[in-house]
Amino acid sequence: MLGGMARYRVSEVAELLGVSDDTVRRWCDTGALAVWRDDAGRQVIDGAELAAFAKSRAHTAHDPSEVERSARNRFVGLVTNVVADRVMAQVEIQCGPQRVVSLMSTEAVQDLGLEPGVRAVAVVKSTQVVVETPAEG
């Protein structure tokens, strides 16, 4: 994060949204997604704006079996919303077409630095969702 705000390069946006780099560049070229230059001259997208963009474009594919389930239990995505009070918080993460919502302590949200635009991993175990932030480096 630069200056406390999450920023993503075009290739990272493509990976997070499951599209090609060229698709992300087209979105930037048409103004669908705002892009800036960082201090090194690379194109970057603001994390909070990316989260809103991902949420607005997300749709769930039809499951022909009509059984709603997932074969995976780790969902990588972007935090799109955090609602917190003194004790508890609700965190929404857009993971491709999936929206994952987790309830956790406000202290955990603060410790993880969760806010719109931050990359996070939702780990689903039974009826609980564990949220991690990937190690950068």
Output phi, psi for 8, to 5 deg.
Answer: -130, 140
**Number of domains comprising the chain:** 2
Q: What's 111's domain CATH number? A: 2.40.50.100
Residue 68 lies in a domain: no
Of residues 29 and 74, more confidence is placed in 29
Give the per-residue pLDDT at 134.
78
Bridge partners of 116, per DSSP, are none
Answer for the pair 92, 99: CB distance below 8 angstroms, yes or no: yes
Residue 63 lies in a domain: no
Which pTM value belongs to this model? 0.58
Residue 57 lies in a domain: no
Give the per-residue pLDDT at 121.
85
pLDDT tens-digit series, residues 29-45 = 999 999 999 889 999 99
pLDDT over threshold 90, residue 80: yes
Residue 66 lies in a domain: no
Residue 60 lies in a domain: no
Domain of residue 15: give its range. Answer: 7-47
Residue 118 lies in a domain: yes
